[in-house]
C-alpha cells in the first residue's frame, strides 16, 4: 500500500509544505530537461514550493486511473454481515482490476455509528487492497466520539497531495454547528441523530472557516492550470438541504476553486449516480457499497444521468463502486461500477456537452 508519495500537506501542518519528494522531483526535472541535476545537488531540490509545483503541473502526464469506494456503513457484526460482505466484494473487484489502479480513494461513512469496532473492521477489510488507500471521513464516522477513533486509525482528515501533476485535496465537509451540548445529548444519542437521513435537530454540513483558510493557503502556490481534484464527503454544492445533501459554505469553497481551469469534486454521502457542473467545477457523487439513497424529491441536476430506482428485492442493486480516469487535460472520466448493472461511463466530454436535462425533472 505504498506506491504513491506520502501525504504531504495537512491541516495540522498548516501552512502547507512541499508537495514533491526529493526522488520524484529530481526524476521529473531530469526527465524533462528543465533543470540539469547532478547527484547531491541539494540546492536545486531546495527550490521554493512554487517552482516545484510548476514543474509537476507542466511536465508530468496526467493520464492515470484510480478507484473509489465509499459509504460502507459497517456495523460491528463481523465479516458475515451483508455490509461487510459488500465492502469485501468492492476490495476484491479492485484487486482484480488489470491494470491495477494507481491508488484507491475511500469516500467516508466507513462506519455506521462511529464505533471503534466498526472502524477497526473497515480498516482490516481495506488493508486487503493491493494499491495504496487514501481515506476521507463521513458523518457516520465522526459523531460518536467527534472523530477520535477515526483520527487514531487514519490520521488527519484534511490534507492534500500531488500525483502525476494533479493536485488532490481531501476535506472534512461534515462539520456542523454544536446542537448537542446545550441539549446534553449523550454521544450515541448525537450519533443517532446524525445518522438519520432527515435529522430534525440537525444543522447543515460545512467545511468551516478553519479549513477554508487552510484550503486558500494550500491553493495559493498552485498555477491556475494545475488540475485539481477535491474529495469531500457531502457534495460541495447545495443539492437538497432536508437530507443534508448539502454543504452550507459551498459557495465560498467554490469561489476559492474558481480561478483554476480544471477542477473536479468527487463526493460520497449521496449513494447515487449524481453529476453536476457549477461554473468551472464538475461534481461527481459515488455509489455506496451498502445501499442506494433515492434522488432528492425536488429533482436532480441537469447533468445527471438518472439511475433507475433500485430493485428492493435485490440488496446489491444500486450499489457498487467507481473507476476514475484522469485525462491529459486534467479533467476526469467517471465510470460507475454498479454490481447488478452495466458500467455507466460519465465522461468529461459528455458532461460539458449537456445543456438540457438528461432525464426527468431538473432543479
**Cβ burial 221-253 (10 Å sphere, 16+ → b, else e):** bbeeebbbbbbbbbbbbebbeebbbbbbbbeeb
Q: What own/partner pairs with CB < 8 Å and gap ≥ 24 does 150-158 have?
A: 150/111, 150/114, 150/119, 153/119, 153/120, 153/123, 154/123, 155/7, 155/10, 156/7, 156/10, 156/11, 156/12, 157/11, 158/10, 158/11, 158/211, 158/214
Instruction: State in angstroms the smallest separation of the CB of 242 from Fe ion.
Output: 15
Q: Does 320 bind Fe ion (CB under 5 A)?
A: no
Q: Residues in the chain, how many? A: 363
* Span of 4-12, 49-57, 102-110, 340-348 interacting with Fe ion by CB under 5 A: 102-110
Among 267, 269, 284, 323, contact with Fe ion (rule: CB under 5 A): 269
CA 149 from chain centre, in angstroms, equals 20
Q: Pick between residue 71 and residue 248 the one whose CB is nearest to Fe ion.
A: 71
Query: Cell match 469496532: residue?
Result: 117
Q: Does 249 bind Fe ion (CB under 5 A)?
A: no
Report the DSSP pairing between strands 344-346 and 263-267: unpaired
Instruction: State in angstroms the smallest separation of the CB of 94 from Fe ion.
Output: 19
Q: Pick between residue 74 and residue 219 the one whose CB is nearest to Fe ion.
A: 74
* Span of 107-115, 128-136, 213-221, 274-282 interacting with Fe ion by CB under 5 A: 107-115
Among 71, 118, 141, 218, contact with Fe ion (rule: CB under 5 A): 71
Q: Which of positions 138-197 make contact with Fe ion (CB under 5 A)?
A: 138-139
Cβ atoms of 199 and 193 closer than 8 Å: yes
Q: Does 267 bind Fe ion (CB under 5 A)?
A: no
Among 52, 68, 91, 109, contact with Fe ion (rule: CB under 5 A): 109
Q: Does 218 bind Fe ion (CB under 5 A)?
A: no
Q: Does 53 bind Fe ion (CB under 5 A)?
A: no
* Span of 79-87, 134-142, 296-304, 335-343 interacting with Fe ion by CB under 5 A: 134-142
H or E segment and range at residue 349: helix 348-353
* # residues contacting Fe ion (CB under 5 A): 5
Q: Pick between residue 269 and residue 302 the one whose CB is nearest to Fe ion.
A: 269
* Span of 136-144, 164-172, 320-328, 337-345 interacting with Fe ion by CB under 5 A: 136-144
Q: Does 118 bind Fe ion (CB under 5 A)?
A: no
CA 174 from chain centre, in angstroms, equals 12
Cβ atoms of 131 and 3 closer than 8 Å: yes
* Span of 108-116, 176-184, 258-266, 326-334 interacting with Fe ion by CB under 5 A: 108-116
Positive or negative CA dihedral for 112, 118, 124, 127? Answer: positive
Q: Pick between residue 20 and residue 286 the one whose CB is nearest to Fe ion.
A: 286
What does the alpha-carbon distance between residue 317 and residue 296 come to, in Å, rounded to a whole number? 19
Q: Pick between residue 176 and residue 281 the one whose CB is nearest to Fe ion.
A: 176
* Span of 71-79, 160-168, 193-201, 321-329 interacting with Fe ion by CB under 5 A: 71-79
CB atoms within 10 A of CB 355: 7
Name the site residues for Fe ion (rule: CB under 5 A): 71, 109, 138-139, 269
Amino acid at each position: 500500500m505504498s506506491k504513491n508519495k506520502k501525504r504531504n500537506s495537512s491541516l495540522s501542518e498548516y501552512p502547507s509544505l512541499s508537495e514533491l519528494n526529493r526522488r520524484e522531483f529530481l526524476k521529473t526535472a531530469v526527465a524533462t530537461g528543465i533543470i540539469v541535476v547532478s547527484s547531491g545537488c541539494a540546492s536545486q531540490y531546495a527550490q521554493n514550493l512554487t517552482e516545484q509545483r510548476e514543474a509537476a503541473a507542466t511536465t508530468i502526464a496526467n493520464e492515470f486511473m484510480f478507484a473509489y469506494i465509499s459509504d460502507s456503513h459497517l456495523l460491528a457484526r463481523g465479516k458475515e454481515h451483508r455490509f461487510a460482505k459488500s465492502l469485501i466484494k468492492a476490495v476484491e473487484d479492485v484487486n482484480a482490476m488489470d491494470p491495477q489502479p494507481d491508488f484507491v480513494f475511500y469516500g467516508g461513512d466507513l462506519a455506521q455509528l462511529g464505533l471503534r469496532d466498526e472502524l477497526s473492521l473497515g480498516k482490516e477489510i481495506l488493508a486487503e487492497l493491493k494499491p495504496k488507500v487514501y481515506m476521507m471521513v463521513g458523518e457516520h464516522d465522526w459523531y460518536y466520539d467527534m472523530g477520535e477513533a477515526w483520527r487514531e486509525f487514519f490520521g488527519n482528515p484534511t490534507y492534500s497531495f500531488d500525483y502525476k501533476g494533479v493536485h488532490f485535496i481531501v476535506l472534512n465537509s461534515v462539520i456542523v454547528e454544536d446542537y448537542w451540548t446545550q441539549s446534553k445529548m449523550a454521544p450515541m444519542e448525537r450519533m443517532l441523530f446524525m445518522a438519520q437521513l432527515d435529522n430534525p435537530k440537525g444543522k447543515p454540513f460545512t467545511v468551516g472557516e478553519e479549513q477554508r483558510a487552510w484550503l486558500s493557503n494550500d491553493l495559493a502556490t498552485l498555477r491556475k492550470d494545475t488540475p485539481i481534484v477535491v474529495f469531500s464527503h457531502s457534495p460541495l454544492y447545495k443539492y437538497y438541504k432536508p437530507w443534508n445533501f448539502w454543504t452550507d459554505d459551498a459557495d465560498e469553497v467554490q469561489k476559492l476553486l474558481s480561478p483554476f481551469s480544471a477542477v473536479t469534486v468527487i463526493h460520497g454521502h449521496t449513494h447515487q449516480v449524481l453529476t453536476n457542473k457549477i461554473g468551472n467545477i464538475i461534481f461527481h457523487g459515488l455509489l455506496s457499497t451498502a445501499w442506494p439513497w433515492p434522488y432528492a424529491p425536488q429533482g436532480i441536476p441537469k447533468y445527471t444521468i438518472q439511475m433507475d430506482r433500485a430493485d428492493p428485492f435485490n440488496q446489491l442493486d444500486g450499489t457498487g463502486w467507481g473507476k476514475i480516469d484522469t485525462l491529459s487535460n486534467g479533467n476526469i472520466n467517471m465510470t460507475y461500477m454498479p454490481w447488478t448493472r452495466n458500467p455507466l461511463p460519465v465522461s468529461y466530454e459528455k458532461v460539458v456537452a449537456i445543456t438540457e436535462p438528461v432525464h426527468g425533472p431538473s432543479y
